[in-house]
Amino acid sequence: MLKLSNVSITYNDRAVLDKLDLTANIGEIIGLAAPNGTGKSTMFNVMANFTKPDSGHVLIDGKYAYRNEKEELLIHKQLCTFPEQKDLFEELSGVDHLKLFANMWKGTAKHVPAVIERLHMGNYVKRKVRTYSLGMRQRLCFAMMMAADTPIMLMDEVMNGLDVDNVALISDCLMEMKNDKLIFVASHLLSNLDLYADRVLFLKDGKFVHEHRFTGENDVFLKIEMTPEQYEALKGQVAFPQGQIYIANHLLCIPLKGMSASDQTKWIERMLDYNEKEMTVGPLGTVEYYDKYYSKNV
């Protein structure tokens, strides 16, 4: 378990993290969605003890905090952060990097061949990193996390520079890994988070403004693209049901939960007047919540 309690940090009189509380457990993949500069990396840095908060603390397994060197070592045996491409050693091979991370955290590199096979890296992993493309480097960084195999993993922009096939591959690996791990993933591939995250946290003004869970029963909406002018005109003609949302001046979401079948049919027929736009039915996803909280039009 990882717990943030009342964590605050301020830069230049701006609260980057503001009395932040969070409890997360093994077996979870937690997505973090927010624009650049809103505190995602700072939160990860506080979790990893790279940055000291102005107040509050991080607690691991209900007992370990960054209080002294002994506890710091105990925590860092359990926690690994996603390496940046600029920190790779150009003259070392991919295998060298994997063995380095495996030995540092696991004390053995016996599992490294299985990591190489799972990520389809066999055709280049013995070459020096200076010969790698950006996508190959990113896949190596993820492979280093798999080699470390720690119970807690912090992954910042794990999908950067990857093509569609490799995004799918790493997404599958994340889902396979989560049973005995707590994994945080900060990513700008918002719809991708919906595939493997148990919940997505939205960070704004130093606080979590929303938590979107995928493991429970989510409300279902009728969703259609609509201009502000169309929305205002419709609002003057009908009474919207409670809980309707108009997101970022472009997406009308009508809640269908609790609505009779005849009322649902009426709303669908009413929306057919806007048939030049696509109409969908389903829960709100990470992309829609992102637009709701971070659109400049909000």
pLDDT at 298: 44
Domain limits, the chain: 2-213, 221-282
pLDDT at 216: 59
Map residue 258 onto helix, strand or coil: coil
In one-letter notation, the amino acid at residue 251 is L
Cα 291 from Cα 205, distance rounded (Å): 16
Q: Percent of the chain scored above 90 by pLDDT?
A: 59
Note if the pTM is more than 0.75.
yes
* 293 and 204 Cβ atoms separated by less than 8 Å: yes
Q: Which of 19-28, 92-101, 231-240 has the lowest mean pLDDT?
A: 231-240
CATH 2.40.50.220 applies to domain 2-213: no
Q: How many CB atoms lie within 10 A of CB 259?
A: 16
Enter the tokens of residue 65: 């905090």
pLDDT in tens, 131-157: 999 999 999 999 999 999 999 999 998
Residues 83, 89, 91: CA angle, nearest 5 degrees: 155
The yes-or-no verdict on residue 182 having pLDDT over 70 is yes
pLDDT in tens, 55-112: 999 999 888 889 899 998 899 999 999 999 999 999 999 999 999 999 999 999 999 9
Q: Pairing relation of β-strands 2-11 and 152-156?
A: unpaired
